[in-house]
Amino acid sequence: MEYNFRQIEKNWQKKWSADETYKVSNDSNRPKFYVLDMFPYPSGAGLHVGHPLGYISSDIYSRYKRLKGFNVLHPMGYDAFGLPAEQYAIEHGIHPAEATDVNIKTFRSQLDNIGFSFDWSRELRTSDPSYYKWTQWIFLRLFNSFFNRSSKKAEGIDTLVTAFEKEGNSSHPMPNAQYPIKTFSAGQWQQFDEVNQQDILMQYRLAYCGFGEVNWCEALGTVLANDEVINGFSERGNHPVVKKKLRQWYLRITEYADRLLEGLEKVDFSEAMKEMQTNWIGKSYGAEIDFKLKDQTELLRVYTTRPDTIFGVDFMVIAPEHELTDAITTPAQRAAVDEYIAYVKSRSERERMAEKKISGVDTGALAINPFSGKEIPVWISEYVLAGYGTGAIMAVPCGDERDFKFARHFNIPVTNIIGDHFNGAEANSTKDAKLTNSDFLNGTPMREASEIVIRHLEIAGSGTRKVNYKMRDAAFSRQRYWGEPFPIKWEKGIAIPLTDKELPLELPYVASYKAGPEGEGPLANIPAWTSLHLETNTMPGYAGSSWYFLRYMDPGNDQEFCSREASDYWNQVDIYIGGTEHAVGHLLYSRMWTKILFDLGHIGYDEPFRKLVNQGMITAVGYYAKILNFRTADGAVRHLFGNDADISSGSEFVVGKELSFVTDRYDQDSDFKRIPYAGKYLDVEHRMTRKAFATYKAEFGAKYRIENEKDFAWVKGDDGDDSDFFTMELVSEKMSKAKYNSINPDDLVEKYGADTFRMYEMFLGPVEQSKPWDTKGIEGVHRFLKKLWRLFFDENKGRIWNEDAATAAELKVLHRTIRKIDDDTERFSFNTAVSNFMICVNELSDLKSHKKEILSPLLVLLSPYAPHISEELWKAIGNEGSVLDASYPVFDAKHVTETSKEYPVSVNGKVRTNISISLSATQAEVEEIVLSADTVKKWLEGKPHKKIIYVKGKMINVVV
RNA sequence: CCGGAUGUGGUGAAAUUGGUAGACACGUCAGACUUAGGAUCUGAUGCCGCGAGGUAUGGGGGUUCGAGUCCCUCCAUCCGGACCA
């Protein structure tokens, strides 16, 4: 009887599915546990071996918790709406709905292949009307609420209207600093017409519509959120992104900045993750200072985090787009300023970011230092951004590098306010100096000075304490088709929300999803849609994923997004597993939505994820032809490095630019030639021989096109073709279908089985760590499972397991394993757990142990990792029921206690020998034994020992 | 430039609180069984050395009886964020 994993795995998968083994009830007297994976976007490429890493971890943990007596929720679904799906659809000429359907089928079959314990009866997809009905419903809650800054929580917009009617907006300051109306009284409110009133309310709503600079991506034909733009290019597709003013929907996430920061203290995320979110929110403390301008009535307001440096201000810089630029420019500087503004306008965002050239123009205006009365020139320069702070800065060159470079470039004199800390050659941003040249602050440590300055400013009325955030409100609309329609219609410029009864507002089926006539979404092309004045934008990808963890709790509910009973029972996600790439996007948005739903009383907690585990990325190995060895006409062997070597005339072969392996667009600019999946054809020195290359071509040639091989320079060795070779470079790179470097789990499951695959993925290393994929090592894990099998069955003899009583040695092995596996699993150390299984099976094999008493508990331990083989053997040795419902073995210390220990004995810190000593030995006894040992005597060389360090159960060290 | 993480054999990696560095595997080498093996089993395998022994966790320094682990400093790689005032 041999280990026929294909048969075994298929059988059990069928059985588990038929028995609904993984169906989870909301009604249980066992404690709950919620394990969630970040659900995938079902791409056309399917899963590669990197994806299941997190899923396997969560699956092991879920099964482990189940054995430990918990009612475990472990669901899976699909993030099916969004840009990538639509791009894919356009590229392949298929409707996104169909493409998504096909892709999901592929995903599902790949997932099923690995034997996960997902409760598929709870599957959801964000593009399903029964799901996005509730996304729209939550959107309406956001639309109909505002952030009350006094209570620091979301409240219904009707409370705000009541307040306006009674007292204007005196208790609820206008959140939008750019809005023309800042304050109004109850009387004024009554007199505004409806459009006006609605417009004001729009400034308060948590989901609001406004005009704003957005990240416009021409190639994708849409607006992107800040986190979807990387260095001026789209995250998806790497297309250029420009700033553009458009009517957009936004989420007022800035109001939640503080709550999002505070919340980080009560969740178990990695420090790195918290740091990333904190940086993204970018809270800074400082002051807004109003500078009077000489001969002008306007005030120039700046934001600074360093009010303590107020006496070091040598010039002011305002953004070229600043609203005061025009008004304050003196006639003498007019021409230069106009010219500079024209220059700035001609430059793209990208150019401005890329180039570090110092540029700027003096406006001729003079600002007046509120304390010293010093007159300070006001410049414009593109290094100051209109969008941050007030779009103007007070420049302190001795303490700020950019300011210093600017001052030096334009010969502006620098005031030193930090004494010895400033060397005149570069700025020093220290906070540890005592101030100099600072009037009443002279001698004050900088850290104390900020407070003093702010107090003085507030008394003088020329400044206020101010907290600033880097984070902007999140753009929440896309000019695209494949997303949730907004449940909003427009009448006379007023956004009217649909009623809950009108939901879902279904996405109409269209044959073509090209952009609308004026850059709007494709929905603008549908007369039936526009005639109802419905909003033509759709929601972004992160809408559906911001609350999906709640839907799993109560997936079929058509009355509510999730019943309060269900969300109270399952509560927060206990373990959330996914990649770091969602650190700022998805995680911040879902945390915000959770807080809003909590504030409005729909759920009972305001953080969605109690603990977050970030799985590392599995990288691929890329193979590049690096060194080519070739023979020239004069017979010399030469080495050609990549394709950048210049081949002198007279060589036997024409090599160089013509030499190439054309495989994909990524190698166009590379110095090396990519040869996909070359791994198993290389020898230890990463050399590809001519013979191996011929085999390679036979297998992959048709698939990946290898061109111009005739120009390839093979080295002729003395012993024939075998010694012809070229050397390849191996590099780590991201797995992607386009790079022809991804590995499909299906292939590995087919060859080794799901259990082997699962354990091997875990065996690679710690879950959180990124690591390269190398298929070679999988054999070792497969051998382990076969070896396990042989504890039960012999190829020839059949059954060899028996029901004899276990020996002390066997029990010791078992209980050591129980302790290790339990501990490792609990702390997500799955790689060491796999090692410990191997050690256990090796030891049992050495003991020739085939006893059910030992093997049964072992199978329970193993079942989270390798469920199929565990279930098969569990049944084969005559156990009742499923191993999945067995109870977890309990560690008993009495089986592993030792009476003596083989101590490493060191002399002066170097281990010289091992001596077995009873664990109950006293210090004096140990000293006597150690000193009488021959080896120790030898190393002491007759010298007296100074002292003997004896750490019970650990080691002994003799100090001379 | 700022922030975070990581540096251990040919490779993936262990070492939970400062206590025998390299567990467990891959690979390699040698051997056994076999018609054959890409099956299975046994042994060896950080480096130098015939050996005794020496030496070794990115480099340098420190604390300690004892450091991969703690402290200082420098270097390298990866990942984020970057004209953020």
HEC string of A699-725 equals: HHHHHHCCCCHHHCCCCCECCEHHHCE
Residue A664 confidence class, pLDDT cut points 50, 70, 90: very low
More confident residue, A668 or A912: A912
CATH pick for A900-959 out of 3.10.20.590, 3.40.1710.10, 3.40.630.40, 3.40.33.10: 3.10.20.590
Helix %, strand %, coil % of chain A (to 5): 40, 20, 40
N-to-C CA span, chain A = 62
Report for A143-147, A173-177, A670-674, A919-923: range of highest mean pLDDT: A143-147
A212/A752: higher pLDDT: A752
Residue nearest to nucleotide B26 (CA to C1'): A777
A677-720 residue pLDDT tens: 777 777 666 677 767 777 777 776 655 554 444 344 444 444 44
- pLDDT classification of A626: cutoffs 50, 70, 90: low
Mean pLDDT of A164-184: 89
Structure-block tokens of residue A322: 């600043």
Q: How much is the pLDDT for A953?
A: 81
Q: What is the pLDDT of residue A625?
A: 64
| CA–C1' nearest nucleotide, residue A786 | B40
pLDDT cut 90: percent of chain A above it: 44
Q: Is the pLDDT of residue A562 over 60?
A: yes
pLDDT band for position A649 (cuts 50, 70, 90): very low
* The pLDDT of residue A318 is above 50: yes
Position A368 pLDDT exceeds 70: yes
Long-range interactions of A172-179: CB distance < 8 A, separation 24+: A172/A146, A172/A148, A172/A204, A173/A149, A174/A203, A175/A147, A175/A203, A175/A204, A175/A252, A175/A254, A175/A255, A176/A203, A176/A210, A179/A203
CA of A189 to C1' of B9 (A): 77
Q: Which residue has the higher pLDDT, A377 or A91?
A: A377
Which residue stretches of A76-151 are H helix? 83-92, 96-113, 129-143
Q: What is the pLDDT of residue A355?
A: 62
Percent of chain A scoring above 70 in pLDDT: 88
Tokens representing A588?
A: 């911040």
Nearest residue by alpha-carbon distance to C1' of B80: A276
Query: Architecture of domain A1-33+43-69+96-109+744-897 in CATH?
Result: Orthogonal Bundle (1.10)
For range A33-39, the mean pLDDT: 94
Query: pLDDT digits over A370-393, tens only?
Result: 998 999 999 998 888 877 778 899
More confident residue, A787 or A681: A787
Mean pLDDT, chain A, as a whole number? 84
Give just the sign of the alpha carbon dihedral A938, A943, A944, A949.
Answer: negative
For the segment A233-255, what is each residue's pLDDT rounded down to a tens digit?
777 777 777 777 778 899 999 89
pLDDT-derived band at A661, boundaries 50, 70, 90: very low
pLDDT for residue A676 is more than 80: no
Ranges A74-78, A101-105, A530-534, A663-667: which has the least confidence:
A663-667
Nucleotide closest to residue A777 (CA–C1'): B26
The separation, in Å, between residue A773 CA and nucleotide B55 C1' comes to 33
Q: What is the mean pLDDT of residues A424-449?
A: 84
Region A769-775: what's the mean pLDDT?
83
Asked if A500 and A140 count as a contact pair (C-beta separation under 8 A), the reply is: yes
> Residues A39-60: what's their mean pLDDT?
89
A658 falls in which pLDDT band (50, 70, 90)? very low
Residue A910 or residue A351, greater confidence? A910
**Comparison of pLDDT for A205 and A628, the residue scoring more:** A205
Residue A673, pLDDT > 90, answer: no
Q: Which CATH fold topology does A283-469 show?
A: Isoleucyl-tRNA Synthetase; domain 2 (3.90.740)
Among A178-182, A531-535, A642-646, the range of highest mean pLDDT? A531-535
Owner of token pair 């190398």:
A774
DSSP, res A20:
T
**Which nucleotide C1' is nearest A775 CA?**
B26
Are A157 and A144 in contact by the 8 Å Cβ rule? The answer is: yes
Contacts (Cβ under 8 Å, ≥6 apart) of A530: A523, A524, A536
| Closest residue to B13 (CA, C1′) | A765
Inform me whether the pLDDT recorded for A629 exceeds 50. Answer: no
Spacing of A786 CA from B36 C1' in Å: 22
Q: Give me the residues paired with residue A726 across strands.
A: A628, A688
CA to C1' distance (Å), from A318 to B48: 67
**CA torsion through residues A551, A556, A560, A563, sign:** negative
User: Residue A824, CA: closest nucleotide via C1'?
Assistant: B16
> Is the pLDDT assigned to residue A854 strictly greater than 80?
yes
Q: Which nucleotide is nearest to A270 (CA to C1')?
A: B4
- Tokens 């109690």 locate to A610
Give the pLDDT of residue A525: 86
Look up tokens 């004045």; give the residue. Answer: A533
Compute the distance between CA of residue A942 and CA of residue A927 in angstroms, rounded to an integer.
Answer: 16
Interatomic separation, CA of residue A843 and C1' of nucleotide B12, rounded (Å): 23
A408 burial (CB, 10 Å; 0-12 / 13-18 / 19+) is middle
Give the amino acid at A156: G
> How is chain A split into domains, by residue range?
1-33+43-69+96-109+744-897, 139-262+473-530, 283-469, 618-737, 900-959
The pLDDT value recorded for residue A685 is: 65
Q: Which nucleotides of B are covered by protein (CB under 7 A)?
A: 3-5, 11-16, 19-21, 23-28, 39-42, 54, 65-67, 78-85
* C-alpha Rg value of chain A to the nearest Å: 35
Q: Of A948, A888, A878, A885, whose CA–CA distance to A917 is shortest?
A: A948
CA distances for A640 relative to A248, A728, A737, angstroms:
56, 12, 30
Q: Which residue has the higher pLDDT, A391 or A670?
A: A391
Determine the protein residue whose CA lies at the shortest distance from the C1' of B83. A383
Please report, rounded to whole angstroms, the spatial distance between the CA atom of protein residue A763 and the C1' atom of nucleotide B76: 27
Closest to A214 in 3D by CA, of A232, A226, A205:
A226
| pLDDT given for residue A218 in this prediction | 77
User: From the CA of A831, how many Å to the C1' of B7?
Assistant: 20
Per-residue confidence (pLDDT) for residue A723, from 0 to 100? 52
Measure, in angstroms, how far nucleotide B33 C1' is from residue A580 CA: 51
CA of A654 to C1' of B61 (A): 56
| pLDDT level of residue A862 (50, 70, 90 thresholds) | very high
